[in-house]
Amino acid sequence: MPSSEELLKRLGVDIDSGTLRLALTHRSFAYENGGLPTNERLEFLGDSILGYAVTDHLYRQYPDLPEGDLAKRRSAVVSTRALAGIARTLGVGEFILLGQGERLTNGADKSSILADTMESLIGATYLTHGIETARLLVMRLVGPLLKDVDALGAGTDWKTSIQEIAASNKLGTIEYRVEGSGPDHARSYVATLHIGGQAYGSGAGPSKKEAEQEAAASSWKMLRTPAKDAKEN
């Protein structure tokens, strides 16, 4: 496992060693090592700070947006999928302390574990430096996502968004074709979305559900592009 200093460098913050270790301690590791404290309380704290920081930004940045649109944009960037994507970009998985069972089943790449750890790190930053440094960390992490207007428009459930756009355009039946590979303890999946018999986007993930969501996200962007072009012309 690489030094925790490398993780702090990637995050752009300093967190004292004890708090950082707690933020990285998954319950599976804690239980296998005599009932150590876990990162779940820090996760609870970080979740609230994440929500506050994003809500504050959206409220100030978009003074004319109604509450429903603000809520949808917030949901898109505080979702498990979004936080896990940020964690993968930073390489957080390699620093998480996991029990043997989670290590054997590739827990370091599970979206739920990655997202929870990101929230824990936000909570740890708050405890070490206070709300303003934690808020700035959140904005560095989610800033690029907040600028992706198309992605924010779809919210967090890409499969539902695909159903809506396919129905409104009468494209036909939706089908996800999924293939798995690798050993049982480290399976990976690739899904391709077919609508009306035509193949659209593909996506990969450690579970069928995540692969299908990625395929839906890719397909949604493909389907939106012609609509946008037509509107602009």
Query: Which three-class secondary structure state does DSSP give residue 105?
Result: coil
Low-confidence stretches of the chain (pLDDT beneath 70): 1, 148-157, 225-233
Which residues share a beta bridge with 192?
Answer: 177, 202
Sign of CA dihedral 31, 32, 37, 43: negative
pTM: 0.74
For residue 103, what is the enclosing H or E element?
Answer: helix 100-104
**Residue in 47, 102, 109, 210 annotated catalytic:** 47
16-26 burial, b if ≥16 CB within 10 A, otherwise e? Answer: eeebbbbbbbb
Binding site: which residues? 43, 116, 119
Task: Identify whether 119 is a catalytic site residue.
Answer: yes
Query: Residue 187 and residue 106: Cα distance in Å, rounded?
Result: 9
C-alpha gyration radius of the chain? 19
Sequence-distant (≥ 6) Cβ neighbours of residue 155 within 8 angstroms: 72, 75, 76, 161
Predicted local distance difference test score (pLDDT) of residue 86: 93
Query: Which three-class secondary structure state does DSSP give residue 79?
Result: coil
Domains contained in the chain, CATH given: 4-147 (1.10.1520.10), 158-224 (3.30.160.20)
Query: Residue 58 and residue 65: Cα distance in Å, rounded?
Result: 9
Query: Residue 161 and residue 58: Cα distance in Å, rounded?
Result: 22
List pLDDT tens digits, range 95-125. Answer: 999 999 899 888 898 889 999 999 999 999 9
Query: Residue 8 and residue 98: Cα distance in Å, rounded?
Result: 19
Predicted local distance difference test score (pLDDT) of residue 155: 53
Binding site for Mg(2+): which residues? 43, 116, 119
Task: Give Cα separations from 64 to 61, 68, 69, 81, 207 (angstroms).
Answer: 9, 12, 10, 27, 39
Predicted local distance difference test score (pLDDT) of residue 150: 52
**Residue in 102, 109, 119, 214 annotated catalytic:** 119
Predicted local distance difference test score (pLDDT) of residue 163: 85
Contact between 115 and 87 under an 8 Å Cβ cutoff? The reply is yes
